[in-house]
């Protein structure tokens, strides 16, 4: 493996969607999102299409549920023996001429890539879509080092152009309409306004072409790392990855250590499930496999291939018997598409690189911040995410456990806890419960506005509480059978 960089990591400017230490609360971000009258419509239109396509593709595969079960078994096997699989991958990849660096933290991963760019005199870097590079702050680190970075993925390019961060795992600008994008290009690139997709694509393509030709370093993520062959697999729908990896002389792959699949034969299963779950495709348009740098007899490909394996808290998740299942995720984004919370507030409200149900688990595991535990309550427990996950991650069950852990560890606000404790005390004291029920039944919650506001601040701020029936169900039940309420 490559040696650990010795220089200190560059300062990474704070950007709201990533840094968990300096942000508003989830409740505040959610309220801002709910005030956007168009966000919910944009999300609904885009995500409904993805869900319909996924359902249609699943219907084409009579063995779809069996495929999900097999994929879940393979992922759990890998996570259960992750250290062995990482070691096997490193050994195999290095035997193919790949330079592998195992980064324990985000800072060392950033510094390795920055040092590599400087060593090769790369003033310009092209980069394809990668959530793990968002996670570690690589874009900002390169920019801080004076290196021009251009995102080659259309959605990522638009997000960076707007000074934004991705709001979805597979659709970075799902929160923008075509008109939003047209106005953005008009403002930032000085081109005439258009909301036609083909014209928007042509504008961005023309802008990026020269960037590809002038770059000495190309950076990608990886959807899968194959332990058996030492290969990295990247899937996409635009073709930009192939330009990013074939034109620059140096190719850097940045991937989490959990992205490993054991065998080459496993790829068919995971490529099928990922394409189906993400957008209802039979197969993603472009599937690229990288197994070592360009060989002597080959005319294309990079002279050097580097793979940066990022731990950055994943070993901590692995050691947690509750959260470790989150590492099974293959980043298809299906759980976001179906989540009723995500569909109303979008990805930026979560405040972390990974939004939605899976992001709620990773936020607590990767950052271990109190606000990360706060996200465990951004769930209706409808189990839609569990039902759609291609590897069967039981996210609702994990979130319930995470809520319990947060409360027991004192990482949850007392304001949210005392109504539950009061309810528990009333349930353990039937006489007081009946007294409270009769009192509220006679006067209604409207007579206790301050109590209601303190107990359920998020609810009463945007909703009118339903009227309380003057006679409880228990009272009605007793009256019909001739019993008294005493």
Instruction: Give me the pLDDT at residue 17, please.
Output: 38
Contact residues for 36 (Cβ-Cβ < 8 A; gap 6+): none
Instruction: Dump pLDDT digits (tens) for 365-379.
Output: 776 555 567 788 889
d(CA 132, CA 316): 17
Owner of token pair 């009272």: 475
Q: pLDDT confidence of 22, banded at 50, 70, 90?
A: very low
DSSP states along 96-114: TT-EEEEESSHHHHHHHHH
* Alpha-carbon dihedral angle through residues 173, 174, 177, 183, given to the nearest 10 degrees: -10
Instruction: Give me the pLDDT at residue 215, please.
Output: 87
d(CA 331, CA 334): 8
pLDDT of 120 above 80: yes
Residue 454: Cβ within 10 Å count: 13
Cβ atoms of 417 and 456 within 8 Å: the answer is no
Half-sphere exposure of 127 (CA within 13 A, CB side): 27
Instruction: Give me the pLDDT at residue 125, please.
Output: 94
Intra-chain end-to-end CA distance of the chain, in Å = 76
Mean per-residue pLDDT over the chain, rounded: 86
Beta-bridged to residue 256, according to DSSP, are 310
Which CATH code, of 3.40.640.10, 3.30.390.30, 3.90.800.10, 3.40.50.10420, is assigned to 26-315?
Answer: 3.40.50.10420
Residue 146: left if φ>0, alpha if ψ -120 to 50, beta else—which one?
Answer: left
Going from N- to C-terminal start, the domains of the chain cover 26-315, 414-480
Helix axes 266-279, 64-80, angle to 10 degrees: 120
Instruction: Dump pLDDT digits (tens) for 170-216.
Output: 999 999 999 999 999 999 999 999 999 999 999 998 888 877 777 89
Position with higher pLDDT, 317 vs 23: 317
């Amino acid at each position: 493996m490559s040696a650990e960089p010795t220089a200190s990591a560059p300062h990474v400017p704070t950007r709201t969607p990533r840094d968990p230490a300096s942000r508003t609360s989830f409740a505040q971000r959610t309220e801002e999102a709910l005030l956007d009258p168009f966000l919910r419509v944009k999300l609904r239109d885009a995500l409904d299409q993805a869900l319909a396509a996924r359902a249609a593709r699943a219907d084409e595969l009579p063995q779809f549920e069996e495929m999900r079960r097999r994929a879940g078994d393979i992922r759990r096997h890998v996570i259960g023996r992750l250290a062995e699989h990482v070691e096997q991958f490193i050994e195999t990849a290095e035997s193919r001429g790949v330079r592998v660096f195992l980064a324990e933290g985000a800072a060392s991963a950033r510094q390795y890539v920055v040092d590599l760019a400087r060593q090769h005199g790369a003033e310009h870097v092209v980069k394809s879509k990668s959530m793990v590079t968002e996670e570690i702050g690589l874009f900002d680190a390169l920019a801080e080092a004076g290196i021009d970075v251009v995102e080659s993925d259309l959605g990522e390019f638009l997000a960076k152009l707007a000074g934004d961060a991705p709001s979805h795992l597979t659709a970075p600008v799902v929160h923008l309409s075509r008109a939003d994008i047209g106005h953005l290009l008009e403002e930032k690139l000085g081109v005439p306004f258009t909301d036609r997709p083909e014209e928007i694509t042509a504008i961005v393509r023309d802008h990026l072409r020269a960037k590809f030709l002038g770059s000495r370093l190309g950076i990608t993520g990886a959807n899968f790392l194959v332990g058996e062959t030492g290969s990295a697999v990247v899937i996409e729908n635009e073709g930009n990855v192939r330009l990013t990896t074939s034109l620059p002389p140096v190719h850097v792959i940045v991937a989490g250590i959990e992205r490993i699949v054991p065998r080459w034969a496993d790829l068919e299963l995971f490529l099928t499930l990922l394409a189906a779950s993400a957008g209802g495709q039979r197969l993603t348009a472009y599937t690229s496999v990288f197994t070592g740098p360009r060989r002597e007899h080959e005319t294309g490909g990079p002279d050097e291939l580097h793979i940066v394996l990022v731990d950055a808290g994943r070993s901590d998740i692995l050691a947690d018997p509750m959260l470790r299942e989150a590492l099974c995720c293959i980043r298809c984004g299906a759980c976001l598409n179906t989540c009723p919370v995500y569909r109303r507030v979008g990805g930026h409200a979560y405040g972390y690189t990974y939004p939605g149900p899976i992001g709620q688990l990773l936020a607590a595991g990767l950052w271990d911040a109190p606000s990360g535990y706060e996200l465990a309550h951004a769930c209706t427990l409808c189990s839609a995410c569990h039902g759609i996950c291609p590897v069967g991650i039981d996210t609702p069950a994990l979130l319930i456990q995470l809520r319990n852990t947060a409360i027991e560890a004192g990482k949850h606000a007392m304001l949210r806890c005392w109504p539950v404790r009061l309810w528990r005390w009333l349930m353990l004291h039937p006489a007081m419960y009946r007294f409270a029920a009769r009192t509220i039944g006679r006067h209604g919650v409207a007579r206790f506005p301050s109590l209601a506001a303190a107990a359920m601040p998020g609810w009463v701020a945007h909703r009118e509480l339903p009227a309380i029936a003057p006679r409880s169900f228990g009272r009605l039940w007793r009256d019909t059978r001739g019993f008294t309420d005493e």
